[in-house]
Amino acid sequence: MHIASRYISSIENSGQHPSLLDDMSDIGLRIVTAAAKAIKEVETEDSCRTPG
């Protein structure tokens, strides 16, 4: 399921401080989303590795 980044930002910001993502272009949001996914993948890979 894909939820638009702007929609997620809007939900997160309801009643909270404004997000820097609100003023970001759709391309910028896609870049941030892709970077976050890549970080999550690396962290997941690292946590699955057994030492030694």
pTM (predicted TM-score): 0.54
In the chain, what are the domain boundaries?
A: 23-47
Crossing angle of helices 5-13 and 26-48, rounded to 10°: 80
What tokens does 38 get?
């890549």
The pLDDT of residue 48 = 81
The pLDDT of residue 23 = 83
The pLDDT of residue 16 = 59
Local mean pLDDT, 10-residue blocks, the chain (52 residues): 70 64 85 90 81 61
